[in-house]
């Protein structure tokens, strides 16, 4: 099974990595839709929230907490939005769960 985010995590595909720990990486999105657009990607491959094991779900929660702690380093002090697209109608194009982090301006709120 090929997965672009697994390839990025393994370093087989280049990305602009701004953070890494044992559970996740944070990279810059290749097609940003806001002045700041990161992808926080768990190192374990799963596609949907309900597919996460209990330990993966806990890791996800730690990841989000870590993101909050890194606001200053990542330029998120003025506020940020996190989005997890799940499935077709949400526009999920990569079947490896990832958290979009949008910031850098006042974001509007329409879909
Ligand atoms: P989704 O639509 O699945 O929620 O988001 C996938 C995101 O991954 C998109 O915003 C897209 O721009 C980004 N993306 C796809 N391929 C690559 C890549 O090779 N490198 C990086 N940095 N981002 C990618
Ligand atoms: Zn993957």
Residue boundaries of the structural domains of the chain: 4-82
Domain 4-82 maps to which CATH number in 3.30.428.10, 3.30.930.10, 3.20.20.70, 3.10.580.10? Answer: 3.30.428.10
Going residue by residue through the chain (111 aa), what tens digit of pLDDT does each one get? 799 999 999 999 999 999 999 999 999 999 999 999 999 999 999 999 999 999 999 999 999 999 999 999 999 999 999 999 999 999 999 999 999 999 999 999 998
SS3 93: coil
What Cα–Cα distance (Å) separates residue 23 from each residue in 1, 11, 59, 77, 110? Answer: 21, 15, 7, 23, 32
**This prediction's pTM:** 0.97
103 pairs with which residues across the strands?
36, 80
Residues with CB under 5 A from ligand 2 (ion): 3, 5-6, 45, 96
What element of type H or E holds 99?
A: strand 99-103
What pLDDT shows up at residue 1?
77
Does residue 45 have an active-site annotation?
A: no
**Ligand 1 geometric centre to CA of 86 (Å):** 14
Ligand found nearest the CA of 39? 1
- Cβ of 85 less than 6 Å from ligand 1: yes
């Amino acid at each position: 099974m090929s997965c672009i985010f697994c390839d990025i995590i393994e370093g087989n595909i280049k990305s602009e990595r701004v953070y890494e720990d044992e559970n996740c990486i944070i990279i810059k999105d290749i097609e940003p839709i806001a002045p700041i657009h990161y992808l926080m990607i768990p190192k374990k491959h799963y596609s949907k929230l309900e597919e996460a094991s209990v330990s993966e779900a806990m890791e996800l929660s730690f990841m989000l907490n870590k993101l909050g702690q890194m606001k200053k380093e990542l330029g998120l002090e003025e506020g940020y939005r996190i989005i997890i697209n799940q499935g077709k109608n949400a526009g999920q194009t990569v079947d490896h769960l990832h958290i979009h982090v949008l910031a850098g301006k006042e974001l509007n709120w329409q879909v």
